[in-house]
Amino acid sequence: MDKRWKPSVTVAAIIEQDGKFLLVEEHTPEGLRLNNPAGHLEPGESPAEGCAREALEETCHSFAPTELVGIYMSRFQRPASGEDITYLRFAFCGTLGAVIPGRSLDEGIVRTLWMTPEEVRASQTRHRSPLLLRCMEDYLRGQRYPVSLVQADSSIHLL
């Protein structure tokens, strides 16, 4: 085999307050979809750092990951183009801070919204990924691991 397979590494913030989850509504090639504040891990950052950055970019709130909810894999085949992508997602819960003044939502994000678990379950046809629901359900079951479970060597910061 000449080409090495590499999944797309993503990070997601599972943010719950008062029985509701903070989600984003975003433009995708498949239309307007719901997702956790999430995105791709960038060079030079740990998964927890990437999660904090993505939450800020997509919600304008500071976010401090305090626990790992889980590590997930899923495969997505884009209907229009046939593109085949495997995602490896690190999902964190944590502490949501205040909105940062002067920030605007990341490109493609239409709005943020708070939804109850029942509303999230009822909106599955609008989910960007099946992992949105899976992460929420694992969170609701109390699944938590120390952030330190995911070790990031200092060499990643030397890019």
Q: Domain containing 113 — which CATH number?
A: 3.90.79.10
Is 1 among the domain residues? no
Write the CB contacts of 41 (distance below 8 Å, at least 6 apart in sequence).
9, 10, 11, 47, 50, 90
Lowest mean pLDDT among 6-20, 67-81, 141-155: 67-81
The Cα diameter of the chain in Å comes to 51
DSSP string, 55-79: HHHHHSEEEEEEEEEEEEEEEEE-T
Query: Residue 138 sits in which domain range?
Result: 8-99+108-146
User: Domain tally for the chain?
Assistant: 1
- Write out pLDDT tens, residues 95-151: 999 999 999 999 999 999 999 999 999 999 999 999 999 999 999 999 999 999 999
Q: pLDDT band at 80, cuts 50/70/90? A: confident
Residue 13 covered by a domain: yes
Average pLDDT, the chain: 94
User: For residue 81, is pLDDT > 60?
Assistant: yes
Place of tokens 């229009």: 80
